[in-house]
Amino acid sequence: MEKITPMIRTEIEKYLKQNSITLTEFAHIIDLNVGTLSSIVTGNRSLSVNQLDRITAGMELPPDYFYERYIEECIIESPSLHWRKISPFLFRCAELSRLDCIQLVMSLLLDTSMYIQLLFEMAEDLLQKGYRDAAACLYENVADSERKQHSERLALCQYRLFSLRIGKDQAQNLQTAARFEPFVDRLDEIDQLDALKDLQTCIDH
């Protein structure tokens, strides 16, 4: 028989009961408005990742303890997907190296074209902030969704992935260069010049 995973709000109620803490006391501990916390626990209010992180820290659990359940309860089961809720969650997943959670959320979004540009912009932001693995995950998914479009965005994703995958293994670098080379002509003039220089450097080494 499949084990039923309790909902986040059920876990909060259980924690409060086991530790003899009132809702008001817990709200004070985690610096959250008691009315807000009460609405979350009763299921009358949607939960943001910032609120979830505060609750998780207050329960002295690992920061990503509820992340799979958050995807299930607050994203998959949500009547509509809101970028304002999803983007902070993806960023936290990047900070905590939860690429599995990023991948799962991406699979929900890429069927809707409006999210592709938003995800590409987030990948650029993550790359700039040093979250290379998370950025690569986003670039790969955006590129996959764009593979039939022959777009400049697809070429840029492939350029970023080429740059991220270059390492010390020259044989692997040459394979990476060969995969990227067909996309160079789709880049704008400035990126194209940089890409050609990077390809040449990769081949020369």
User: pLDDT by residue (tens digit) across 189-198?
Assistant: 999 999 999 8
Residue 5 scores a pLDDT above 80? no
Q: Provide the 8-state DSSP code for 60.
A: T
Name which of 27-41, 52-66, 170-184 the model is least confident about.
Answer: 170-184
Q: Is 183 left (phi over 0), alpha (psi -120 to 50) or beta?
A: alpha
Kind and range of the H or E element at 144? helix 132-145
Supply the pLDDT for residue 170.
85
User: pLDDT by residue (tens digit) across 148-162?
Assistant: 777 889 999 999 999
CB atoms under 10 Å from CB of 116, counted, come to 19
Supply the pLDDT for residue 2.
44
Supply the pLDDT for residue 130.
96
Question: Rounded distance, CA 51 to CA 43, Å?
Answer: 14
User: pLDDT by residue (tens digit) across 96-144?
Assistant: 999 999 999 998 888 888 899 999 999 999 999 999 999 999 999 999 9
pTM, full prediction: 0.89
- Tell me how long the chain is: 205
**Would you say 154 and 189 are in contact if contact means Cβ atoms under 8 Å apart?**
no
Question: Rounded distance, CA 187 to CA 73, Å?
Answer: 40
- Two tokens, residue 41: 């626990």
What single-letter amino acid sits at 155? A
Task: Check residues 45 and 5 and name the one with the higher pLDDT.
Answer: 45
User: pLDDT by residue (tens digit) across 37-78?
Assistant: 999 999 888 899 999 999 999 999 999 999 999 999 999 887
Reference 54, options 36, 72, 68; nearest CA is: 36
Supply the pLDDT for residue 1.
43
Q: Which domains does the chain have, with CATH numbers?
A: 1-79 (1.10.260.40)
Question: Can you tell me the mean pLDDT for 13-37?
Answer: 95
